[in-house]
Structure formats: structure tokens, C-alpha cells
């Protein structure tokens, strides 16, 4: 679950991580005249998408008149399809230097990964591509943790301001504790700034692992404040792992790894996935039917790719689900199906006996992605 900036900063306060004084509002009437904040103030749209500054979703107000104007301008704004329903209003900082830091899990290394750069304020992908030497990567064994000497070494290699070494070590250590103690998938601060008041986390990007929800009561509180698309609510009610994306090729697969690989292959053929939809292992006919029903609620889907590699999942049951969901219906989009693994022969026979002109069968993931992308153009 991806948190809003203000929610991430609530966690900062829990771990005593310095961040500007602020307040969150959902309407102008919620801003008290004695709000206790000192101008200049930064008015920040709370949306779960990048580029809000370029879209006009971040403004600096120097007085009450500007503050009221910017609140009117930004509340209700559409930023890349995300409606601004809340604003974070915080005291502006006098910035001396901007840095980047993040913690995540590198599954291939089976370790946590800290990334640190002196090029804060920029997209980290741009830094990695154009200035790779300015991005320091430090792997952390979960059984050992992150020690001050390791942080000092990373700060030195990243060429951060050594005058603030002790503060940086303290804040970075607290960010790591936040990452681990809250079972986070990601903690990213861009920028982590040197200000006139010292080191401060000026932004917040936090993603929580909802598999650990049972250990954290506050997860439910955060989730209630995050708008969830109707399709995701419907998918959750059906027990499906669904995430809405911004492409046009609907993806259905079994297993997170296979679905992620399918998304990548679609991109390789010039397409873009409309969603991540994992029906899981052991999926039965009704599961596949439910998955197709979820995609029917998505207006952006132009074609559908069903990619199944049967292990526990039986391809014949998947095929039965496809037939059940599509028989006698006028399909909204063409469907490309790739079945391989357990009972794939039987599954293909079921589809052959119940032919539908809008359903194409493919023998490989690469070919299926190519067909699906072309069908959705």
C-alpha cells in the first residue's frame, strides 16, 4: 500500500525524523486562522503520482491571500488522472543542499538495499542513467542491520556534506528503523535536505507490505484514507490480487513473478499494461471468471492477455473459467490466451471446442504479448 506524503510524515514523527511543521486539510474551512505555521508556506497536492510540481500541484505562499488562492487552485485539480482531495501545508525550508535516499528489498540479493545520492531533487532513474557514480548502493543483511560506520562510509562515498555527518548518520539510521519496524516495501526521501535548521526529510514516499497488516494497527487507519478504485475493491472482494495501472492491455496471470514478466514483455512489444492481476496458484474456473469480470469494469482496457503456467494451477480449469465467462457474451475486447504446464493439452482442447472469434490462442508468452498489443491498438 502506497501512502500519501502526509501519512509517511506521520510515521516520521513516530521515529523522531526531522520534517517541516505542517497541517493537512481537505477543505479551506479546515484551515484555522491561528494555524500556527509561519510563512512562507508550501501548499502540496496529496496524490499518489509523480510530477505534481510540474502540473502546478505545489505552490509557495508568502501571505494569507496567496495561501487562500493556492488552496482554491489546487484542491480538486486533476493530476495525471488523480483528483486532489487533500493538501499538505507546511513551512518552507531554507535549503542548502538536497540529497536522495531510499531503502527497499533486493530480492535477488536477499538483502535490504540503501541507495544514497548527492543529486537530490532529481528523478533517481535519471541520476542512475546519466551519473551512475553519484548513486551509492549499500546492501544490508537483515540479520546484521545498518551500523553507524556503514552509514558514515556511504555518506563519504556519496560526497554528502561531511560537516553534517553526525546529523545525517542519525536521520539515516532512523529512516532505516522506520523501514524495518513498519514492514515497508519502500522508504524514499527526495529530497533529504540540509537546511538552515539542519538535516530534514522534506518529502515522503512510503510503501507498506500489507501482508504484515496483522502486526500494525495503524495500517487500517492509513488504508481508510486512501481512495481505492472500484475495480480494486471488487477484485479484493473476490480474493484477487489486482493493481490498476495506466496502460491498455489487461493482464491476467498466475503468480506475481509471471505477471511481472508478462508486463515486461508487453512493454517490449510497444504496449503498456492496464493492470496487474494475479489469480494465484490453484486458481479454479470461478477465479478466472471473476478476473475477467474485474477487467470488464475498466474502461481503459482495449485487449486482454491471459498468461498461465500451470503448476498447482490446472490449465483445464482456467480454460473452463474462460469459457464460462465468455460464452454467449459480446466481448468488450479481444482476448489472447497462452496456456502451458499442468493439463495444458486438456485446456487447449476445451478452448478449441468452444471457439470464440475474439479469443486467440498462442503457444508462447512472447507471441501472446505481441498479439495482445497489436489487438489493442
Q: Would you please indicate which residues are annotated as catalytic (active-site) residues?
A: 100, 188
CB 137 within 8 A of CB 106: no
Torsion of CA 319, 325, 331, 334, to 10 degrees: -20
Task: Report the C-alpha gap between 165 and 301 in whole angstroms.
Answer: 50
Task: Name residue, grid cell 491498455.
Answer: 248
Task: Report the C-alpha gap between 310 and 363 in whole angstroms.
Answer: 14
CB 250 within 8 A of CB 295: yes
Task: Report the C-alpha gap between 73 and 65 in whole angstroms.
Answer: 12
CB 11 within 8 A of CB 178: yes
CB 133 within 8 A of CB 118: no
Helices 315-326 and 285-296: crossing angle in degrees, nearest 10, is 40
Task: Report the C-alpha gap between 124 and 223 in whole angstroms.
Answer: 27
In the chain, the N- to C-terminal Cα span, in Å, equals: 31
Amino acid at each position: 500500500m502506497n501512502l500519501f506524503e502526509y501519512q509517511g510524515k506521520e510515521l516520521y514523527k513516530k521515529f523522531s525524523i526531522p520534517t517541516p511543521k505542517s497541517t493537512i486539510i481537505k477543505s479551506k474551512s479546515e484551515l484555522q486562522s491561528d494555524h500556527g505555521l509561519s510563512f512562507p508556506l508550501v501548499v502540496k497536492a496529496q496524490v499518489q503520482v509523480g510530477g505534481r510540481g510540474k502540473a502546478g500541484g505545489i505552490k509557495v505562499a508568502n501571505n494569507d491571500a496567496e495561501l487562500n488562492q493556492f488552496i482554491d487552485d489546487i484542491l480538486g485539480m486533476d493530476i495525471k488522472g488523480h483528483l486532489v482531495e487533500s493538501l499538505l501545508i507546511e513551512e518552507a525550508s531554507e535549503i542548502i543542499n538536497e540529497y536522495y535516499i531510499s531503502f527497499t528489498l533486493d530480492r535477488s540479493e536477499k538483502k535490504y538495499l540503501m541507495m544514497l545520492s548527492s543529486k537530490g531533487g532529481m528523478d533517481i532513474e535519471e541520476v542512475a542513467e546519466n551519473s551512475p557514480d553519484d548513486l551509492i548502493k549499500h546492501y544490508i543483511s537483515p540479520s546484521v542491520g545498518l551500523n553507524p560506520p556503514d552509514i558514515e562510509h556511504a555518506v563519504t562515498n556519496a560526497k554528502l556534506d561531511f560537516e553534517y555527518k553526525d546529523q545525517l548518520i542519525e536521520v539515516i539510521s532512523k529512516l532505516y528503523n522506520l523501514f524495518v519496524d513498519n514492514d515497508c516495501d519502500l522508504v524514499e526521501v527526495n529530497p533529504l535536505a540540509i537546511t538552515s535548521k539542519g538535516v530534514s526529510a522534506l518529502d515522503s514516499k512510503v510503501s507498506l507490505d500489507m501482508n504484515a497488516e496483522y502486526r500494525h494497527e495503524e495500517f487500517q487507519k492509513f488504508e481508510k484514507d486512501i481512495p481505492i478504485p472500484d475495480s480494486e475493491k471488487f477484485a479484493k472482494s473476490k480474493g484477487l490480487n489486482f493493481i490498476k495501472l495506466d496502460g491498455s492491455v489487461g493482464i491476467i496471470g498466475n503468480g506475481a513473478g509471471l505477471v511481472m514478466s508478462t508486463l515486461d514483455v508487453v512493454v517490449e512489444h510497444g504496449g503498456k499494461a492496464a493492470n496487474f492481476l494475479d489469480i494465484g496458484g490453484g486458481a479454479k474456473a470461478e477465479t478466472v471468471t471473476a478476473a475477467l469480470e474485474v477487467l470488464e469494469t475498466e474502461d481503459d482496457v482495449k485487449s486482454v492477455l491471459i498468461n498461465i503456467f500451470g503448476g498447482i494451477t490446472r490449465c483445464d480449469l482456467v480454460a473452463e473459467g474462460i469459457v464460462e465467462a465468455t460464452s454467449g457474451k459480446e466481448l468488450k475486447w479481444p482476448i489472447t490466451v497462452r496456456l502451458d504446464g499442468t493439463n495444458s493439452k486438456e485446456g487447449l482442447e476445451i478452448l478449441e471446442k468452444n471457439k470464440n472469434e475474439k479469443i486467440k490462442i498462442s503457444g508462447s508468452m512472447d507471441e501472446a504479448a505481441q498479439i495482445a498489443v497489436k489487438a489493442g491498438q
